[in-house]
Structure 1
């Protein structure tokens, strides 16, 4: 059997909820999502628009930087790759800043967003994604630590550089690969990717 629990992680049957600050309250009717920045065709979707897109059922393991892992978490949602293909990233786009309701941000490389198992997830274990889990819609990036799977997602902004998000500015790793235990940044962020500037959400 393929090893499924990354080094330093503890397997749990529970599904802890960890959130910094207050949970934003966003109804499905009020939720909207954008792909913007370095794209040829900026995209905007309502919740009903999202449900009309081709849907994907996906079961993946979930790894938190606080050292717990939960296996076989069942999600339903829309592939981000499909939406990005419609938005048509410009050639200079290499990274993204993900924005959430409530002001949270996290950064990702474009190549990570283009993986086939990265979703805008609206369903968890067959039920609508609850508010405390990031509902009505969260980003799911299962191959990286869970802080990259931004709750209450509202936009993906494509950039020509890596711009650090909320936790990354406080010393979390710029990428967050659990198999490499990329929990905290040790050494410099790759200089050819990085640009930092203060932003408003």
Structure 2
């Protein structure tokens, strides 16, 4: 039984719903371990690895262009939420301020609390990807990754790391937390890439 907050879609709504997903009007909270609690003014985004080391403060991130996107999100635990609205800094607006070194092909996303997840640069540097600090017009709640999280809507939502604290650029793919624990290295919901074979 799906319960009153989840429903099996009658169709894929024009290709919007990946295989195996149910729709929800809620925003489930799924987190491994304790929830970090960081004041927004204390947030720093550290850059290192195959990039010139740098740190962006909350104020510096807020001074960058702010963009609002509305898109569908899909969790590996089989729920999808349609038409979610997020505001933040586009990854493509941040990247010109980061001086990559030769050989960088991937980025390991680091979070306050120790969480990590991996992305190829091709998946990371997209116009729709945000360092989001607002959800539905309001500051992002702590349980959903506030003050700031990454949002990568074309992949399962575990790739959209909560409480983002750093970007480590690397020269090959490496597993992050859930990838080391059996999740797929990429996580495309439309290919049903939930778990490693």
Q: After TM superposition, is the score higher than 0.5?
A: yes
Where in structure 1 are there 5+ consecutive unaligned residues? 187-201
- Residues 1:163 and 2:174 are matched in the alignment: yes
Q: Which residue of 2 aligns with 1:12?
A: 24
1:74-107 alpha-carbon deviations (Å, 9 max, x no partner): 0000011221222132231111111000000001
Distance 2:115 2:94 in 1: 22
The alignment's TM-score, normalised by the length of structure 2, stands at: 0.91
Partner of 2:190, secondary structure, is helix
Is the partner of 2:117 in helix, strand or coil?
strand
TM-score where L is the length of structure 1: 0.89
Please say if 1:35 is aligned against 2:47. Answer: yes
**How many corresponding residue pairs?**
185
CA distance in 2, matches of 1:31, 1:103: 15
Alignment of 1:1-201 (within 5 A): 2-39=14-51, 41-186=52-197
Separation (CA, whole Å) in 2 of partners of 1:170 and 1:59? 31
CA RMSD of aligned residues (A): 1.1
What secondary structure sits across from 1:108 in the alignment?
Answer: strand
| Distance in structure 2 (CA, Å) of the matches to 1:76 and 1:182 | 27
